[in-house]
Chains A and B, each alone.
Chain A
Amino acid sequence: MTTHPHKDYAGAKLGMWLFLFTELLLFGGMFLLYSVYFKRYPQEFAAGGRQLDWIMGTVNTVILLTSSLCAAMAVTAVQRDELRRAVALIGGTILCAAGFMVIKYVEWSAKIGHGIYPGSEHLKSGPPGESVFFSLYFITTGIHGLHVLIGGALLAWIALKIKGGEVNAGNDILLENGALYWHLVDLIWIFIFPLYYLIL
């Protein structure tokens, strides 16, 4: 007799969405801080935003949108039982995640090289609004970057499960939830990008 482990598809998905709502409120808090301080220091925020490289920001936006496409396609592939293609698509997502992190690294090191990091002498001697802008920039993109790393690791683990035959068309909730997490990462970036890189 074979044993069938208990699966609750609807429950698993509901749980994932509830978790995503808490993530939404976490980042929502950071966007709220941004908007309040933007109201208080519009000139300093404008000056800060101009110091960020909008071309790198745009490239990273395109990379993340593409990674999300791959993740969504991987779900479709598994549901159609095209398992090899699903693994390849997850590989595409992870490749994009790596590209995103490399660009993020280049951006952060350029800023830090210019003496711009939380608590630096350069920011302490400058106007308070500029210091607030860059503190918010580092905390928001830092926590977002952490999510990129976690999401990439999560999807790599799920790809192994697909290869091992544990995730397939009949049992794909793990991949669906992993992809949902990845799309959240993309969703947050959709707001970070204009607010920090473009508006000002």
Chain B
Amino acid sequence: MNEHHHIISYKKLTAIWLALLALTALTVAITRVELGGYKVLGALVIACAKAGLVIAVFMHMKYEGRLLRWLLFLALLTLAIFIGLTFFDVLYR
């Protein structure tokens, strides 16, 4: 019946939710103090960590096969190339 699934327990999902709330609180905290450019970096690093948790557990990517993982990597790489090449232009114009 459930040959495809790894069923994720309610407990684990709740733990991830708590971690996401804690990271949200941390983002708010670090952006309320004056850190200059570091707060942009800090907020983005935390956002990426949160996104990682959502994709890995809520979206079950941790339990998917190689095909979907590689496709995700490819999509993120494409996005990174777009952003990277654009900034090559914007920063060194």
CA distance A15 to B56 in the complex (A): 18
Are A79 and B58 in contact, CB atoms less than 8 angstroms apart?
no
B86 touches A32 (CB 8 A): yes
Residues of B within 8 A of A62 (CB): 21, 24
Tally chain B residues at the interface, Cβ within 8 Å: 46
| Alpha-carbon separation in the docked complex, A35 to B83 (Å) | 9
Interface SS of A by simple majority: helix
Within 8 A of B (CB), among A150-188: 169-170, 176, 179-180, 183, 186-187
Docked Cα-Cα span, A80 to B44, in Å, equals 36
B14:A69 contact, CB within 8 angstroms = yes
Q: What is the chain B residue whose CB lies nearest that of A72?
A: B58
Contact B90 A199 (CB under 8 A): no
Q: Point out residues on A near B: beta carbons under 8 Å.
A: 9-10, 13-14, 17-18, 21, 24-25, 28-29, 31-32, 35-36, 39, 54, 58, 61-62, 65-66, 68-69, 71-73, 75-76, 79-80, 169-170, 176, 179-180, 183, 186-187, 190-191, 193-195, 198-199
Given contacts A72-B57, A198-B28, A199-B40, 6 further A-B contacts (CB under 8 A): A62-B24, A65-B21, A72-B13, A76-B13, A183-B54, A199-B31
